[in-house]
Amino acid sequence: MATARVDLDGNTITPMTICMIGAGGFIGSHLCEKLMAETPHTVLAVDVYNDKIKHLLEPDSLPWNGRIQFHRLNIKNDSRLEGLIKCSDLTINLAAICTPADYNTRPLDTIYSNFIDALPVVKYCSENNKRLIHFSTCEVYGKTIGSFLPKDSPLRQDPAYYILKEDTSPCIFGSVEKQRWSYACAKQLIERLIYAEGAENGLEFTIVRPFNWIGPRMDFIPGIDGPSEGVPRVLACFSNNLLRREPLKLVDGGESQRTFIYIKDAIEAVLLMIENPARASGHIFNVGNPNNEVTVRQLAEMMTKVYSKVSGEEAIESPTIDVSSKEFYGEGYDDSDKRIPDMTIINKQLGLNPLLISYN
């Protein structure tokens, strides 16, 4: 564990207590690992489940023993939450329903989880003068301007029409009937509320917009390490099909484009935000890899090749199959076309991380 850490301006970093809401999830578990292994900070880990961080909590002989405490509570209705925020220097809010299959099938739960349930967190931070790092999503951008241009328009190749910038890109969603946007709308509204709290009441905040972070503990394989029902995200869906030797299902032809970044690379950026409040506060940060873009169809092809190489099994005769979004996700589904982050602001404020290259 590092004992004498300095920030980007050369100042000694004082050990802090961090209230991490959603610490037992995918991002939270990796962030907890990073904080325990490399910093002197203390984490009050708040979640309903701790399966993904159990290895950090026991046995007592772990080198960080005493620096991470698990608090099993649901932020919807637990009066202990404000006390945990009060005794912390920083609150990180990761709690959310963030599985695409839920957005149009459970829109009320999605809206409540991502907006209503986050309100007390923002309120307690603002009223107690506590710093907040809130995790939003790249989905707040919705569709790109370029997606509305004719298919053969040369403007579709102009980065101005598809690169997503925190301070200038509009947020373009589908109609109200397309309930898939319930998640993005709720996330955008809580962003606006946080921003307003900063402007009117002096809340010290940072908002993070992740662009498809991937890695261990991200999702479940149905019936193997998770429930047999439900639809996980794309990598787990494809892994499930490969293991069962079934065709990989390409929603609406797999034409959507995504950029992916490995979780440990993304966590490096989050640690910079935590330890450099003077540079991070008041900002919204894209965190992704703009140079790692593929279509969902290309992703399926890559995963099929890798699985065949690792398993020694030949790919099945028809490795992919096209399905409609209605068939796969249900009524009311819609999607964004491209998600490419502009990384100018984070590189300017927190330094050029070699893992996060600016788009040129």
DSSP state letter for 39: -
Q: Which two tokens stand for residue 299?
A: 């992703």
Contact 101, 231 (CB under 8 A): yes
The C-alpha angle 208, 212, 218, rounded to 5 degrees, equals: 100
Check 103, 124, 162, 183 and give the catalytic one. Answer: 183
For 85, residues 6+ apart whose C-beta sits below 8 A from its C-beta are 19, 91, 121, 124, 125, 128, 130
Radius of gyration in angstroms for the set of CA atoms belonging to the chain, rounded to a whole number: 21
Phi and psi at residue 115, to the nearest 5°: -120, -65
Q: How far apart are CA 225 and CA 29, in angstroms?
A: 17
Burial class, 174, CB count within 10 angstroms (exposed 0-12 / middle 13-18 / buried 19+): middle
Contact 181, 173 (CB under 8 A): yes
Q: Is 183 among the residues known to form the active site?
A: yes
Catalytic residue numbers?
Answer: 183
